[in-house]
Amino acid sequence: MEEAFSIIVEEKAFDQVYVILAGRVSMDNAERVRSELIDVVKSESLRDVVVDLKNLSYLDSSGVAILLELSRMSRELGNTLRLTNIPLRIQSFLELMEFQHPAGAGILSPRPEPSIIEQIGSGALRVKQNARDIVTFIGATATALFQYLSRPSKLKWDDLWKLIEKSGADAIPIVTILSFLMGGVLAFQAAIQLRKFGANIFVADLVSLSICLEMGPLMTAVIVSGRSGAAYAAHIGTMQVNEEIDALRIMAIDPVRYLVVPRILAVAFALPCLTLFADLVGILGGCVVSVSSLDLTPTAYFEQVRKVLEVSDVVKGLVKSFAFGIEIAMVGCLRGFQVRGGAESVGVATTSAVVTCIFLLTVTDAVFSMLYYYLPSIGI
């Protein structure tokens, strides 16, 4: 049913016409309101139109669209449309719809695009804020982690084991499949070149070293970042939206100690175990391909692995995975604490957590590769 609405046109100045709106403007009567107001604006093309909203009891998004259209039409006709006596509730709605109502002028207009200088300044402020959040978060996490490690009895071990199970044991199926396939792919790619020289046996060298030093830790970390890193960001982000983080602070519970430290310990402990399992499965995948396609026997394959693969190679990969685990948990939790707003912000934080984790994992892997290359040359 059409909503009650009235419009009164008054002439209070030779160069202005006043339009008084009263009642409700909604989707039900938007077409009639639009038609009447357009007629007024077109008939008064030589005079400014002042719209008085004092007696307007209700205005929804359709009414805002009508006012915006009238403002555009007035500019095309060479005059202006001004709003006056805007009730506070309607003014708040106009601001919510991201329309500006300049003081004094009263013209309804969209918010202007920021200039290049403003965009650069805004970006610099965001970088500064992000850097400050990261430094503060790292400091709070390091402090809480030291307190827990100095007094392990205060750590809730039951919750920690559950987190380790979710981060580690639950990821075994996907890690098994991908590691097996990765070992097989590396064996196939190595065989293409090594077969030309009759050096099929060295496929075992390439597969074992590549898996243990590089592919095993990195691929497992990427999988865990997509599972646990994203889950931590979504979980803590949802708590932030629901004001559960504020509730923890009110109860004198440090959110970093309660939420972040157990997750860091869980991923840091679980990831090396997953990496070691991925190494074994990847080497096994290379063995299956070598036996089925390269005329090697399992005994010859594993004997060659034993000759070339040293314990230090496996340990290097596990050290990298331990560092990867700390990074994944910290990034996921940090993005969760940075959530502001509603569900959309949680989704953005989850995506950002995964992207940031993959970027940091790649950078950290490059740093470790350089360290492992240069340290032996200086006698370390």
What does the domain layout of the chain look like in residue ranges?
A: 5-110, 129-378
Q: Among 1-5, 58-62, 165-169, 184-188, which stretch is predicted with the lowest mean pLDDT?
A: 1-5
In CATH, the number for domain 5-110 is 3.30.750.24
Q: How many CA atoms lie within 13 A of 307 on its CB side?
A: 12
Q: Which of 301, 309, 111, 320 is nearest to 215 (CA)?
A: 320
Print burial letters for 17-26: b (CB count within 10 Å at least 16), e (below 16).
bbbbbbbbbb
Structure confidence at residue 342 (pLDDT): 76
Q: How many CA atoms lie within 13 A of 154 on its CB side?
A: 11
Residue type, 53: L
pLDDT(109) > 70: no
pTM, two decimal places: 0.67
Tens digits of residue pLDDT in 134-145: 888 888 888 888
Euclidean distance between CA atoms 229 and 328, whole angstroms: 6
Alpha-helix residue ranges (DSSP H) falling in the chain? 30-43, 61-77, 88-96, 116-150, 157-167, 172-194, 203-210, 216-224, 230-241, 244-250, 255, 261-293, 298-308, 311-337, 343-374
pLDDT(323) > 80: yes
Structure confidence at residue 1 (pLDDT): 45
What is the mean predicted confidence (pLDDT) over 13-34?
A: 78
DSSP one-letter code for 107: B
What is the mean predicted confidence (pLDDT) over 275-301?
A: 89
The residues pairing with 82 across neighbouring beta strands, listed in sequence order, are: 50, 107
Instruction: State percent of the chain over pLDDT 90.
Output: 25
Euclidean distance between CA atoms 368 and 317, whole angstroms: 9
DSSP one-letter code for 347: H
> What's the mean pLDDT when you consider all of the chain?
82
pLDDT band at 2 (very low <50, low <70, confident <90, very high): very low
pLDDT band at 3 (very low <50, low <70, confident <90, very high): low
